[in-house]
Structure 1
Amino acid sequence: MTDMYRQLSGGGGGRLSFGGDEFIFVELSEEMRIQQALTIQTLARTLTAMNLPGVTDVCPSHASYMIRYIPERVNLPELLATLQGVHEEIVTGRPATINTRIVDVPVYYNDPWTREALMKFRDRHQDPGSTDIEYAARVNGFESIDELIAAHTRHPFLVTFMNFVPGNAESVQLVPRELQIEVPKYKSPRTETPSRAVGHGGAFTNIYPSAGAGGVQLLGRTPINVVDMTQTRADFRERPVLFPAGTLISFRAISEAEYFDIRAAVDADEYRVRVADIEFSVGKHLEDWETYNDELLEALR
């Protein structure tokens, strides 16, 4: 175990450890950066596509990933050697590409439903005198809510982590660290959050698939569903969640009237989420992120 730890750390990048007899945990770094997040997604997708014998799941996160395997069906030295080879190819080799898709997500920012919910919990907030979106705008140096919305919708986000409940996906905006929107979570969580609420905590945006508790700052609400475990709706026939890890999201501001129009179409199963299949190039993003983001958004349009 110690030898393999050194090999991953030195030869291919990453700190490997074991979780009992069924899990392998690999951490690329202790802090999350866009390049590492993209590398994690590439590693996870590559390992998943290999259909390794005895490996039942590959779970990517912001700066790490985890593998679950069946001990009786896995030759552990062979699996570790495979991981070593994949790391040497992807982490220290030429930047890879990811076959994924970019999804259009309309958002009614500063909507009445999230505002009603958040106002019930101001005693748990850093600034009881303002709403979540006002607070998020101020701590990020924006002069108005509109400036925050413009920044949030300007560049796409990358889904880096599936968490808590099916369909709840944390995503980070594909911009340099100094341009990231960052805001702390509540001092203590709410016990109420509307379904389809769009929230931001730390540097990550997520959408609540269903009503429930939560602690991130609420920015708005989307009229579209992000999960359908029955897979009966047209947008979910291939998969029960809208945002698998590695998906790109483009948030788009809409009016109250547009929200109700889209929601009515969704309820009637007549709305189709706008999606574009793309080949995301890690190298192109590292070379010129802003121009490449525009190309990605143009593919969606």
Structure 2
Amino acid sequence: MSGATPARYSWGGDEHIFVELAEEMSLQANFRAMAITTSLRENRPDGVVEICPANASYQVRYDPDVIEPRTLMARLRDIEDKVGDAADFSLSTRVVEIPVLYQDPWTTETLMRFRDRHQDPDATDIEYAARINGYAGAGEFIAAHSGSPWFVSMVGFVAGLPFMYQMVPRERQIVVPKYLRPRTDTPKQTVGYGGCFSCVYSVRGAGGYQMFGITPAPIYDPAQELPDFGDFLVFFRPGDIVRFKPIDRDAYDDHVKEVEAGTFRIRSRPVEFGLREYLDDPDGFTAGLMEVLRAD
């Protein structure tokens, strides 16, 4: 790995410091954000209120009556120097399995209502994505989308919505533009795609990402009634590694019944993720990650 690019620090009003680690998203840039914010969280000084990692940056909210702002900024610069390019940082995280009904009837009906806002009015979103990425058709595209793990680079924009970055060499990444104009409707738990990011829409609402399918797995439960939400109302955490599992309509319906009965659980297992091991052998490393849940 080459040396890390120096970060750019700026003030966000009287209570925030924003730190930009790179101008473009990469797994290396995001992993630096994870390493720095993890170190800050583990040795959290008094006065730090919130720590929020993002795709290639992070933001810290602080109480200026408790910690002097320039003292905190100096602390962040010191952590940045110690982390370096984060190649030796190991993240304790988890692999999670998200079942997906690709080309489902609900997102298909929705996308057909908004073809006037799309680059290709004569194709579905997944057919368009397959074509511009050089895949023979929807089936081959689904195999590629579900055949590699995805790294949750940040959670936000909408409550509980994860941004996921494909863990393959950059020349093999799926890239799909957003709609020409945003939709006014997107079904809850839609698996979407925009730029280099996959996502899961946590709630129903407007959106501009391409729609590939839907998951029966709730990822946002403000009432915290389901088993996966005992600790927090949002399921995903930055650093999660996601495996999409294609399912058919019968399996989807069975999972929905489990959700309604309050028994559904998202499958997950803890893992240690080191950036150096991934960069040394991306295909071998991710193949091992994909097998973690298959072993159950």
Q: TM-score range by the shorter chain?
A: over 0.9
2:224 aligns with 231
From 283, 295, 299, give the equivalent of 2:292. 299
What aligned pairs does 1:1-301 form with structure 2 within 5 A after superposition? 13-92=6-85, 94-301=87-294
Unaligned runs of 5+ in 2: none
CA contact (8 A) 1:12 1:85 kept: no
Deviation string 1:49-99 (CA, Å, 9 cap, x unpaired) is 222211111111111111111111112333222212211111246520111
Secondary structure in structure 1 of the residue aligned to 2:222: coil
Aligned amino acid, residue 61 of structure 2: R
Q: Is the 8 A contact 2:4 2:84 kept in 1?
A: no
- Normalised by the length of structure 1, the TM-score is 0.93
Structure 1, unpaired ranges of 5+: 1-9
4+ long deviations beyond 6 Å: none
Secondary structure at the counterpart of residue 36 of structure 2: helix
Structure 1 pair 49/151, CA: closer, same or farther in 2 (3 Å)? same
TM-score by length of 2: 0.95
Match of 2:179, SS state, is coil
Tell me the secondary structure at the aligned position of residue 68 of structure 1: strand
Q: Hey, what's the Cα distance between the residues in 2 that align with 1:46 and 1:75?
A: 19
Contact 1:103 1:249 in 2 (8 A): yes
Distance in 1, Cα, partners of 2:288 & 2:75: 35
Q: Displacement of 1:103 after TM fit?
A: 0.6
Residue identity in the other structure for 1:50: N
Amino acid aligned to 1:119: M
Displacement of 1:47 in angstroms is 1.4
Percent identical residues: 42
- Work out the CA distance in 2 between the residues paired with 1:296 and 1:239: 25
Displacement of 1:297 after TM fit? 2.1
| TM-aligned CA deviation for residue 11 of structure 1 | 9.2
The amino acid of 2:98's aligned partner reads V
